[in-house]
Structures are given as C-alpha cells and as structure tokens.
Structure 1
Amino acid sequence: METEILSEKELAELTGYKARGYQRRWLNERGWHFVESRGGRPLVGRQYARMKLGMTLQVMPVTPPPLPVPAWTPDISKVR
C-alpha cells in the first residue's frame, strides 16, 4: 500500500537529486509546497504531487443508501 507521502526514492526520482538541500531547492524553484521533517527531509504529499504533475483524480459519485423505515412508532396519544 502506498503511503500519503512520497518516499525518499520517489522524491529523488522526481527531483533528480538525492541530497535534501538540492531537493528543497528544486521544489522551491518550481513552486511546490512541502513540509520539512525534523531531520530536514522535504515531505511532499502523494496526491499533491499527482495534481502538480497533471494527473486528475477520478471521482465516482456516490449516492447514500435510503433511510431505513422505522420498525415501530411511539404511541404518544396518552401523553399530556
């Protein structure tokens, strides 16, 4: 299963650099938003990268199931 954040290998493949400083520079020069980990690794979201690369997300319309019919109704005729 893919994680929500690009792996180090994927980020190196995307930017062409293994060094984190060069990766950050590449991302900044191209206007990519990213967050840095405590170790200084740039973290790029997978869905964000797909959008920046021009891939579209296929959205399937989902209709909610019909509401269930109640099995009983309370008798409130004797409530004052």
Structure 2
Amino acid sequence: MDIQSETLDEDELATITGYQTPSRQIQWLTNNHWQFVLTGARRPIVGRVYARLKLAGVKPNAANVVAETWTLDLASVS
C-alpha cells in the first residue's frame, strides 16, 4: 500500500492546472480560487485533502477538512 504525502506532488499539480511551470500553476490556482502556499523556490504547495474537496465540488472549511476523531468504545463488549 502506497502512503501518500499530505501535499500534491509536482505531477498531480501539473495534471490539475494543466501547466508544468510554477508561475503558470500559481496563476491557474489564483484564478480558480484555490488556496496554496509557496516554497522558498516559489513553487505552489496544495494540500491533498483540500484538493480532494475542491475537485469534489465541496467548499473546504474547518468543519469538513478536520478528520473525525476516533475513539475506542468498549461499552458493548461483555
């Protein structure tokens, strides 16, 4: 099983934006109202969960981005 990074890799970002060059990716992300951060090399970084929500047509917010907290419930175990 592959473990995915918390952020999109360069190929995934190029697939979504349609551009290979970071400056064009930044322009596309800005024009399409995607949130991103820039590395020191001015490459855009997009979170994987954020991207999945955007691609699904869900407006990301604090309520739907945070993972649900899981707890062990042993109440029904005898």
Q: Match for 1:13: what amino acid? A: T
Aligned partner letter, 1:35? V
Task: Name which one, 1 or 2, has greater alpha-carbon Rg.
Answer: 1
Q: CA 1:8/1:61 → structure 2, altered by over 3 Å: closer, same or farther?
A: closer
Distance 1:4 1:62 in 2: 19
Normalization by structure 1: what TM-score? 0.70
- Provide structure 2 residue ranges, at least 5 long, that are not aligned to the other structure: 59-63
Distance 1:21 1:60, change over 3 A: closer
Question: Alignment partner of 1:23: what SS?
Answer: helix
In the TM superposition, what is the alpha-carbon distance from 1:54 to its structure 2 partner?
A: 1.0
Change over 3 Å in CA distance of 1:46–1:66 after alignment to 2 = same
Moved >6 Å (runs of 4+):
none
Amino acid at match of 1:65: D
| Equivalent in the alignment of 2:52 | 50
State how many pairs are aligned: 66
> What corresponds to 1:34 in structure 2?
36
- Report % sequence identity: 39
| RMSD over equivalenced CA pairs, Å | 2.7
> Quick check: which one's helix share is greater?
2
TM-score for the superposition, normalised by structure 2: 0.72
Counterpart amino acid of residue 64 in structure 1: L
**Is there any run of 5+ residues in structure 1 with no aligned partner, and where?**
68-80
